[in-house]
Amino acid sequence: LSTREMLQVGIVTVGMILAHCWLRDSNIETAVTRLPRAVVTAAWALMACAIIFTQGNSNAFIYFQF
């Protein structure tokens, strides 16, 4: 993996661990209702942009085992 990809993996991993620690004694619905609307909107916009910009090529193979 390139340095940029390693950095992305590290940031996502640290973010998930911090979110897990923050929500240990709560749930996501309660946490989101406590946040200001601007923060929630910014988070949704950031996630949508991340999906759009990192979708890669259309040759992805998805394997489902039934």
DSSP letter string, 5-36:
HHHHHHHHHHHHHHHHHHTTTS-HHHHHHHS-
Full-model pTM: 0.58
Residue-wise pLDDT tens digits, 12-22: 999 999 989 98
pLDDT band at 43 (very low <50, low <70, confident <90, very high): very high
Average pLDDT over residues 49-66: 73
